[in-house]
Structure 1
């Protein structure tokens, strides 16, 4: 069996969506002729923790770890946050109004920790892995970013040891929406851009999470780019049972709800709908303080905040929903935004209301699966009519489950294994 080194910062006990990319790939790779060897961080400062991810680690897999030094304790001290406070996506989801120290911390992060806050992990990891690879043969490297520190480690190994490398992007690098929010100077931008171009030149294959972002990467020089979707894992749903509370009409959102996807006008639209069932919005995960303020100002629709809950609880909540809310980032590259939650939404077989680019990648997938509809944020009439139809005709949506199945983690890993086979160079 061929062997691939997977370089990933996120690994159990990390929670959240980012860990699932490499974890689910590692889970299914053996089925397609590749043995994964995972390199990850020891004592990492994860935004969330969830022990449930350990069940997906293949039995007997070799997991290598190298200690990591991260600046988050200093940032929390500098900005007056508590030790236990999450810093996940602080440029998008704010627990308080940004002050000077917040902005200073973000500026330092974007201009001194390049490519990201895990950059101090690069040199010791390269040294460790070079020593390991002298004694242990591998056939390819797979690295997954962000954090793009993963891709920088892989770059040095591929360059110095002449190993075939597949560089994966969950999100873009310099084209990412949050990159624009980090006060990056022209000097730092040149460094970020050079590192990004290094990946384009050295990687034999590049994958990214959406078709529009594939085109975006190609527009700045990336070659041999293809799409690997986040996907969903059928195993995560086998013990879940749908339990609708038909006394209410529950609209559910799971995950981060940032200022850049604030659903302004949604509550006002819902308050105009006449129904025998009370409409509720249920939010699980971090919610930006300004979004909370605006939601609380409208008393016509009940809003329930679940806070940060376990992955299994989140999936069960999505299973119980009458309608799943998918607000996309209001950003220049929003057409390519395909949140990981989309695929888990698809697998619940519950209707989806997407807010964002009506001609974007998410809208196309939802349309192809016949599982809901997408509207621009300002299309309040369209949103109102869609919800009213669901309330009066709950079985009006005829879902195409065969299309949804193509987005399973197993099927996406099959595709990835074919890309690894393409770059594989047999050693005789």
Structure 2
């Protein structure tokens, strides 16, 4: 069996969606003729933990770890944040007004930590893996970025040992939405872009998370680019039993609900439905799991919906999936950003598998819209389309059977099992 070195920062017990991309790949690679060897961080500062993710690690695989220095705790101390609390994204989260130290820290991060805040991990990782590769046969390298520290580590090893390398981009590098918010100067920008171009030249194959981002990556020089979606794992839905609770109309969102995803038009539409229908007023319930920005809370209060909202806090994925069972409508707002058309939230694919109506808020040309409409899984509206949103919610409320009959079609192509087969085939191609 051929061996692939998988370089990833996110690994159990990391929580959130980012860890799943490599974890689910590693879970199924053996079934397609590839033995994964995982390299990850020994002492990472993960923002969210989910111990249940460890259940997906295949028995007996090699896992190598090297200590990592991360400046996150120093940043928290300097800016007066709690060491224990997760760090909210200060570039798009307004829960706390950015201070001078926030701005300075963002500038330092963008200009001195290249390609990202884990940059200090590159040299010790390359040194460790060089020794490993001198005595062990590896047929291909797979890296997942961001953090693009992973990408640089894989590139240096591929260049030295001439091992074919598949560079995966779950998010773009210089084209990512927050790149412009990092206050990156001309010198640092040149370094970022030079490294990015070096990746394009060195990688035998590149994958990225959406069709639009594939085109955008190709527009700046990337070659041999394929789309690799996040996907869903059928095993996670083994005990899933969707139902409709007749006494409640439940709208659910799980994950980060930042100020760039604030569904203001939805809240206004819900307020109007509450005011016009006593039945809707009795049955409405809004459940929000994960981080919720203060601007979202303000929008809820402005529309007098606080009595209908349950803030659930951070939940393990198993509990998130359990929440889907009783929901009437699943909310998926795409962040408002220049590259939003290519933004496919990883949770989309779990929502498809949940077999409940999905309300997507985002631009008309989004890849998410194409997927949702082609699979008959729901509807997408622009963020400010209050009337469209209102009519869709009203239709689902008035005709519950239309929601309970949602059966998205052709979603098997997005299963982690089939997506792993796709990556295995690419690894076969580059390692011949």
Q: Same fold (TM over 0.5)?
A: yes
Matches within 5 A, 1:34-49: 34-49=34-49
Correspondence for 2:172: 172
Q: Which moved more, 1:390-399 or 1:5-14?
A: 390-399
Rate the CA distance shift 1:207–1:178 in 2: closer, same or farther, 3 A: same
Deviation, 1:16, is: 0.6
* d(CA) in 1 for partners of 2:356, 2:278: 20
Correspondence for 2:279: 276
> TM-score, normalization: structure 2?
0.96
Q: Which moved more, 1:209-218 or 1:256-265?
A: 256-265
Deviation, 1:129, is: 0.2
**Structure 1 residue 321 and structure 2 residue 324: aligned?**
no
Correspondence for 2:291: 286
Aligned equivalent of 1:405, options 395, 398, 412: 412
- Listed as ranges, the gaps of 5+ residues in structure 2 are none
Report if the CA contact (8 A) 1:326-1:354 is conserved. yes
Report if the CA contact (8 A) 2:267-2:299 is conserved. no
Rate the CA distance shift 1:20–1:270 in 2: closer, same or farther, 3 A: same
Matches within 5 A, 1:23-422: 23-273=23-273, 274=277, 276-277=279-280, 278-300=283-305, 302-396=308-402, 399-422=406-429
Deviation, 1:401, is: 4.1
**How many pairs were matched up?**
425
Report if the CA contact (8 A) 1:93-1:287 is conserved. no
Deviation, 1:348, is: 0.5
* d(CA) in 2 for partners of 1:319, 1:107: 44
Q: Find the residue that maps to 2:312 and give its secondary structure.
A: strand
Q: Find the residue that maps to 1:325 and give its secondary structure.
A: strand
Deviation, 1:225, is: 0.2
Q: Which moved more, 1:5-14 or 1:256-265?
A: 256-265
Deviation, 1:399, is: 4.1
* d(CA) in 2 for partners of 1:313, 1:77: 32
Q: Find the residue that maps to 1:52 and give its secondary structure.
A: helix
Report if the CA contact (8 A) 1:93-1:286 is conserved. no
Deviation, 1:181, is: 1.5
- Give the alignment's Cα RMSD to 1 decimal: 1.3
Report if the CA contact (8 A) 1:116-1:147 is conserved. yes
Q: Find the residue that maps to 2:263 and give its secondary structure.
A: coil
* d(CA) in 2 for partners of 1:73, 1:332: 30
> TM-score, normalization: structure 1?
0.97
- Listed as ranges, the gaps of 5+ residues in structure 1 are none
Deviation, 1:93, is: 3.0
Rate the CA distance shift 1:90–1:314 in 2: closer, same or farther, 3 A: farther
* d(CA) in 1 for partners of 2:100, 2:294: 17
Q: Which moved more, 1:206-215 or 1:275-284?
A: 275-284
Report if the CA contact (8 A) 1:93-1:256 is conserved. no
Q: Which moved more, 1:15-24 or 1:308-317?
A: 308-317
Q: Find the residue that maps to 1:395 and give its secondary structure.
A: helix
Q: Find the residue that maps to 2:400 and give its secondary structure.
A: coil
Deviation, 1:310, is: 1.3
Report if the CA contact (8 A) 2:329-2:357 is conserved. yes
Deviation, 1:210, is: 0.3
* d(CA) in 1 for partners of 2:90, 2:5: 31
* d(CA) in 1 for partners of 2:212, 2:335: 14
* d(CA) in 2 for partners of 1:50, 1:90: 23
Report if the CA contact (8 A) 1:369-1:399 is conserved. no
